[in-house]
Structure 1
Amino acid sequence: MRSLFEETGARLQFAGHETFPLRYGWLKKAFDAVERSKPGETKQIFNNERAISDFGVGKNMVLSIRHWALASGMLSWDDEGLGEIRPTQIGRLILEQDPYLEHPGSLWLIHWNLASTPGRAATWYYAFNEFNEPFFSRDLLRQRLMRRCDELREAKRLNETRITEMTLKRDVDCFIRTYAVRTAGGSRVAFEDGGLESPLTELSLVQIHDASGSFQLRRGPKTTLPDQVFAYALVAFWREFYPTRRELSLEAIAHEPGSPGRVFLLDEDATSERLARLDEITAGKLRWDESTGLRQVYAHDLRGLDEKRLIATLYLSMDLGAAA
Structure 2
Amino acid sequence: MPEPPLSGCVPAFGRHGSYPIRLGWLAKVYSALREDPLAFSRPQAPVVLGVGASMVRAMRFWSRAAGLIRDGKRTAAGRPAILTRRGTWLLDDEHGADPYLDDPATLWLLHWWLLSARPCHLPTARFLFGHWWKSRFTRADLRAAVQRAARLSGWREPSPRLVGRDITALTARYAAPRPPVPAAALEELLTSPFRQLGLLAADPSATGQDRAPGEHLILHRHRGNTAPRAILACACLEYAHTAATQQHGSITLGRLLTDPAGPGRLLLADRAALRAALTWAAEEPLAGRIALTESAAADDLLTFTAPPLPLAGHLLAHRYHRPDGPGDPR
Could you tell me the TM-score, scaled by structure 1's length?
0.84
Q: 1:310 aligns with which of 306, 310, 315?
A: 315
TM superposition shift of 1:141: 0.7
**Residue type matched to 1:283 in 2?**
A
Q: Specify whether residues 80 and 223 from structure 1 end up closer, same or farther in structure 2 by C-alpha distance, changes over 3 A only.
A: farther
2:81 equivalent in structure 1: 85
Structure 2 counterpart of 1:93, one-letter code: W
Amino acid at match of 1:126: F
Measured against aligned partners, the alpha-carbon deviations of 1:101-132 in whole angstroms (never above 9, x if no partner) come to: 01011111110111124532111111111111
In 2, Cα distance between the equivalents of 1:108 and 1:304?
18
Partner of residue 214, structure 1: 216
Deviations 1:171-216 (A, max 9, x none): 111111111011315xx77785962442111111112222333212
Amino acid across the alignment from 1:257: P
Distance in 2, matches of 1:92 and 1:192, equals 32
- Structure 1 distance, partners of 2:16, 2:305, is 41
Q: TM-score w.r.t. structure 2 length? A: 0.83
Deviation at 1:298, TM superposition (A): 1.6
Separation of aligned partners in 2, 1:189 and 1:311: 39
The match for 1:110 is 110
Q: 1:49 to 1:80 in 2, by over 3 A?
A: closer
Q: Match of 1:23? A: 22
Contact 2:72 2:80 survives alignment (8 Å): yes
Query: 1:6 and 1:52 mapped to 2: Cα distance?
Result: 33
CA, structure 1 residues 191+227, in 2 after alignment: closer, same or farther (shift >3 Å)?
farther
User: Which position in structure 2 is the counterpart of 1:236?
Assistant: 238
Check if 1:74 corresponds to 2:68. Answer: yes
Q: Structure 1 pair 304/134, CA: closer, same or farther in 2 (3 Å)? A: closer
DSSP-derived class of the 1:257 partner: coil
C-alpha distance after superposition, 1:4-46 (max 9, x if no partner): 75653x4322122111111000011111111111xxxx2x321
Equivalence for 1:133: 134
Alignment of 1:56 with 2:60, yes or no, is no
Question: Structure 2: which 5+ residue stretches go unaligned?
Answer: 323-330
Identity of aligned residues (%): 26
Q: Indicate the residue corresponding to 2:328 in structure 1.
A: none
Q: Residues of 2 paired with 1:190 and 1:143: CA distance?
A: 31
What letter is aligned with 1:172? I
Match of residue 282 from structure 1: 286
Residues 294, 301 of structure 2: 8 Å contact kept: yes
Query: Partner residue of 2:172?
Result: 177
Secondary structure, counterpart of 1:298 in structure 2:
strand
User: Matches of 1:111 and 1:26 in 2, distance apart?
Assistant: 15
Give yes or no for contact 1:182–1:191 (8 Å, CA) kept in 2: no
Partner of 1:322 in structure 2?
none
User: Hey, what's the Cα distance between the residues in 1 that align with 2:309 and 2:67?
Assistant: 23
Q: How many residues of Structure 1 are paired with residues of Structure 2 in the alignment?
A: 303
Compute the displacement of 1:149 (Å): 0.9
